[in-house]
Structure 1
Amino acid sequence: MLPPVANRFVAGKTAAEAIDHARRQAKLGIDPMINLLGSHHGDRATAVADAEEYCLLVEDLAAADLDGQTAISVKPTQLGLECDETLFRDLLADVIEAAGVHDVFVWLDMEEHTTVDATLDAYEEFARTSDARLGVCLQADLERTLDDLERLADVPGTLRLVKGGAYDRPTGIAYTTDPQVDRAYRRLLERAFETVEGTVAVASHDPAMIECAIDRADGTDLELQFLMGVRPRAQRTLAAEWDVRQFVPYGTRWKRWAINRAKRNVGFTARAVAETVVPLRNGETFEEELGVSVPVSESGLESTGE
């Protein structure tokens, strides 16, 4: 059982809890993207263990028979990239194969700028040479990303566009101010809708960017993505008209993730604390029950660094 603040942003410690959460969201028309928390594994055994858990997770997702399209999200450094690139590719291949057997989509997350080349090379190879349903994240705050988009536009996979990652960026490779990142993200969205043949996944909590994406989609398949626990009412509302997917993390390594989400989303943290004092009825949210509104971070959905 997670504490009240953490359980806003983390589904639980076990895969079963994550799948239970996903089942509830599926009834609202929101598809899951389940992630086992953990990254930057420096030893082979831990990376292998996480890959094995993902292989079991896709079996459990298939058995759960959820409505909609199920997906998992994996991090390159979780699958051994910091140990050895060959190990990373071998473990990723195992996960992709297992997911393919059970018709589960695989999202490959993006981490530090030093991992971009290895991540995109692996994505392009597996997307072009397998029948797997596969997607990768692109970070708008990196100055290279428009070129990466052009490279990947005709790859038979799906691109997930975020504003940036929760990582330090050396001078000269990234946009560093909010206005710069916003402009870069708009350019990335516009170019994606001009060049990408398949689905474009827009991962942002920023209402202005969501509106921009909807206005410019113009026939392109559009998926909107959110983190668990952030703007839940918006997720439900948008799911009535658009494909919506929610990032659902779980695992014993939950503390750092929950703390980071709480810091970035002060409004929901306040609600979580308040709801321990003011019980809600019939699944209402705190603001619906009390008739108040607490500001929530409108920042773009970062790729999920821990």
Structure 2
Amino acid sequence: MIPPIADRFVAGESPAEALEHVRRLNGRNVKAIVNLLGEHYDERPPVRSDAAEYRALAGDIAGSNLDGCISVKPTQLGLDLGEDVFREELAGVVEAAADHGVFVWIDMEDHTTTDATLDAFEDLAREHEGGVGVCVQANLKRTRDDVERLADVPGKVRFVKGAYDEPADIAYRDAERVNREYEALLEYAFAHYDDGPTIAVGSHDPAMIERAIDLHEEYGTDCEFQMLMGVREDAQYDLAANYEVWQYVPYGPRWKSYFYRRAMERTENLRFALRAILGR
């Protein structure tokens, strides 16, 4: 059982608990990105087990007529065991989800996984006519090139600031610099993604959300907004009155490491977490 405070950020330990949370979200006009917690497996059995649960989860989402999709981590599907393992397991999950009409997000992890993740996304997005999405991180210096590369790929691209503690030679480490880069990436995407992927604005930053709305109105490019469970939920519901909003909904028995990392990885996240805990 997940204790109070943590249960604001994690939907439960079972798929049934996660789907019940999705049902409640849908009642507030918010859609859900469901993620089974797990990462960095160095043995094949947990990879197979999580992949099987994702395949079943896609069927459960479709069978329950819920507005939801699934999100997987590359190292959860075996990337640490080899790119071939990751590709095999990911392809199986995407194919099963496609059979049920369920979208699949591929989360982005630290910089060592970026090439493998983008390559897999591009291949599967083209194969499955845009039924796959990927995340790009503004703090990585390479991301401008990656965003240009993805401009004609079907599917969705989620823009986030980046949460991993990356080396200074490949990443921007100053928060103001990352903010400028994030805004610049959004500006490029809204100007150039009109015939490409849908833009997903993954941010809790009110200034960036407002900037994205301005860009959407200026260019008319499709977009959606994504936020975490337990963080600025009132803002999510308010935004959903006029725009498409998705909440990232994690669940599973491996909730402790997720909860503590989300709370502590950045001062900004800790502030939002504390506000949510205090109900402010």
- TM-score of the superposition, structure 1-length normalised? 0.86
The corresponding residue for 1:265 is 270
1:5·1:262 contact (CA, 8 Å) conserved in 2? Answer: no
Aligned to 1:195: 192
TM-superposition CA deviations, 1:121-164 (whole Å, max 9, x none): 11111111233511000001101101001111001111100011
Matched position secondary structure for 2:81 = coil
CA distance in 2, matches of 1:267, 1:224: 17
Tell me the matched-pair count.
Answer: 272
Confirm or deny: 8 A CA contact 1:40 1:78 kept in the other structure: yes
Deviation string, structure 1 residues 67-104 (Cα, Å, up to 9, x no partner): x3x21110000000000110100000000011001111
Letter in 2 for 1:65: N
Q: Give the aligned partner of residue 154 of structure 1.
A: 152
Query: Contact 1:162–1:202 at 8 Å: present in 2 too?
Result: yes
Question: Cα distance, 1:267 vs. partner?
Answer: 5.6
- Counterparts of 2:228 and 2:15 in 1: how far apart (Å)? 17
Cα distance, 1:114 vs structure 2: 0.8
Deviations 1:226-263 (A, max 9, x none): 00000011000000000000000000000111123344
1:177-216 Cα offsets, whole Å, 9 max, x none, are 0011000001100000011124200000000000010001
Match of 1:304 in 2: none
Runs of at least 5 residues in structure 2 that lack an aligned partner in the other structure: none
Please name the residue that 2:120 is paired with. 122
Cross-structure match for 1:94: 92
1:265 to partner: Cα distance? 3.3
Q: Does 1:211 align with 2:210?
A: yes
SS for the counterpart of 1:73 is strand
Structure index of larger Rg: 1
TM-score (norm 2): 0.94
Equivalent residues in 2 for 1:1-306, closer than 5 Å: 1-66=1-66, 68=67, 70-131=68-129, 133-165=131-163, 167-196=164-193, 197=195, 198-217=197-216, 218-263=219-264, 264-266=269-271, 268-269=273-274, 272=277, 286=279, 294=280
Is the partner of 2:80 in helix, strand or coil? coil
Residues 80 and 216 from structure 1, CA distance in 2 versus in 1: closer, same or farther, beyond 3 angstroms?
same
Is contact 1:96–1:132 with CA below 8 Å preserved after alignment?
Answer: no
Letter of the structure 2 residue corresponding to residue 247 of structure 1? Y
SS in 2 for 1:39: coil
Contact 1:5 / 1:258 at 8 angstroms: preserved in 2? no
- Is the CA contact (8 Å cut-off) linking 1:13 and 1:252 kept in structure 2? yes
Percent identity between the aligned chains? 53
Higher helix share: 2
